[in-house]
Structure 1
């Protein structure tokens, strides 16, 4: 059975057997459709009967990348869980892939980070002999060098590259512009990508100013960035869950570990409040705790 048939049956069940209101039925249906669309983009061979817990987990990570709040994520997950419980109840499936997936915690969560050697391992796994590899290296160098959100990366424009000054102009949340320093390696690989790959693309009208393009000459999607990083993590056998936001977290954590001023990091990340940036100080605190444990006579 395909998605459309089962979603229609799920809708009827909600309406007729659970007597939910029209708005509630529509909300549940939209939750499942969002998940279906994600799989169609990332793993089109996975149908409703092949879904595993890992697919739902990846979807939750993806909607986190889109900036969706924990409350919205919890609501969407509730709809997906209801759908798979329905399939289980109707004996369409013999197990529920969502049963072990916890709802997102509504409090502030410490972000996952990669060590610098792990970042390097991912970058070195990219095949620079292909046009896509050259683009991907430039893209991930930029992501880590500047600590960008994934949408800021895909929206980055050629007209906002100020390499002579060592900065890029970024359009962040709320259409707020900020200048972010860009490292030497990121500048080098963007230059190589533009001179050796991008210049040969047949660029779609309207996409001429975007830095990173797909093979059809159009603006790169956020889902594609997510997929590229996921595939590289698999390639090197990395056990951590890695996403574009992991690069942003790692950028901030590595700066603060190195002694960077918190307000400077706040400015580079485009955080409205300093308290948002303070979540990146957790490794620094861990280090201080280790010092106490190792050297303090009362430890």
Structure 2
């Protein structure tokens, strides 16, 4: 049982059996590569990995000042790896099974106010084709709450603008329908009919909605750069990313009284617990509840 063969089979398992996206597969493989590096340094073969050795491995990665969150994620990847060994290699036991992940403090996500979102969108230079594209991107990120990977992979064949819905492929290749508002539809149509139609398209990219100037699908990095440049332009002091628009979408819906289950469906969360974090963001609302209902206020 050598690492190269096992790693190749693990990747195939994650792709075919688990149906994970390329980014998720890469993250799992990086976790296992760290374990492989540790084992090779200490001359430990895969069958020799015990619970004690895994505990030593976690102490080893802790020496590199890896955050608690990253350590928990690495352990999760290692546990998946040993489950794979049990399934595909008839591995007798899972040495990672009884190891507990470090406790993680639950961080509230950073969100933008409606005014900040309006300022970012207003800062876009609409005199260029890229500007019209970028306006459509931000309207959809905020208007539909997409992950950046879902936006990059959005297909023209999955736009149902006449009934105000789009279909996206989320984590684990799970598809979901999301409502799209009139403002996002308006600027998406302008981009499709007045900008994209004049963009030479690279072979294999015909169905992607958002293209770069060379006719290829936009990358996650490019969308991140677009947003960072706009934040600099308006001197926004918050650290933001494409995911900030997703957080803002969910937070503003919950603040407006939207049903949590509906928000869960639109975000594509498997667990309602993940969505519930947005109920803790609106401090003004929480203060008003205390003021209105607590007998001592």
Which category of TM-score, normalised to the shorter sequence, fits these structures?
A: 0.5 to 0.7
Q: TM-score of the superposition, structure 1-length normalised?
A: 0.65
Q: Displacement of 1:130 after TM fit?
A: 0.4
Instruction: Name the residue aligned to 1:249.
Output: 247
Q: Say whether the 8 Å CA contact 2:166–2:179 is kept in structure 1.
A: yes
- Asked if residue 122 in structure 1 is aligned to residue 155 in structure 2, the reply is no
Divergent runs of 4+, >4 A: 24-27, 72-75, 293-297
Partner SS state of residue 164, structure 1:
helix
Aligned 1:217-256 pairs, distance under 5 A? 217-256=215-254
SS at 1:179 equivalent: strand
Paired residue total? 212
**When the two structures are superposed, what TM-score results if normalisation uses the length of structure 2?**
0.66
- Contact 2:152 2:218 survives alignment (8 Å): yes
In 2, Cα distance between equivalents of 1:272 and 1:188: 31
| 2:61 alignment counterpart | none
2:190 counterpart residue number:
192
Report the counterpart of residue 281 of structure 1 in structure 2.
279
Q: Quick one: structure 1 residues 212 and 25, their matched pair in 2 at CA, closer, same or farther if it must change by over 3 Å?
A: farther
Query: Offset of 1:200 from its aligned partner?
Result: 1.1
Q: 1:182 to 1:216 in 2, by over 3 A?
A: same
- 1:200-242 Cα offsets, whole Å, 9 max, x none, are 1111000000000001000000011111101101100110111
- Residue 142 of structure 1 deviates from its aligned partner by 0.5
Q: Which residue of 2 aligns with 1:171?
A: 169
Unpaired runs of 5+ residues, structure 1, are 1-20, 28-59, 61-68, 76-103
Write the mapping of 1:59-98 to structure 2, written as runs, cut at 5 A: 70-71=69-70
TM-fit CA distance, 1:288:
2.5
Unaligned 5+ runs, structure 2: 1-34, 42-66, 75-101
- Describe the shift of the 1:209–1:294 C-alpha distance in structure 2 as closer, same or farther (beyond 3 A): same
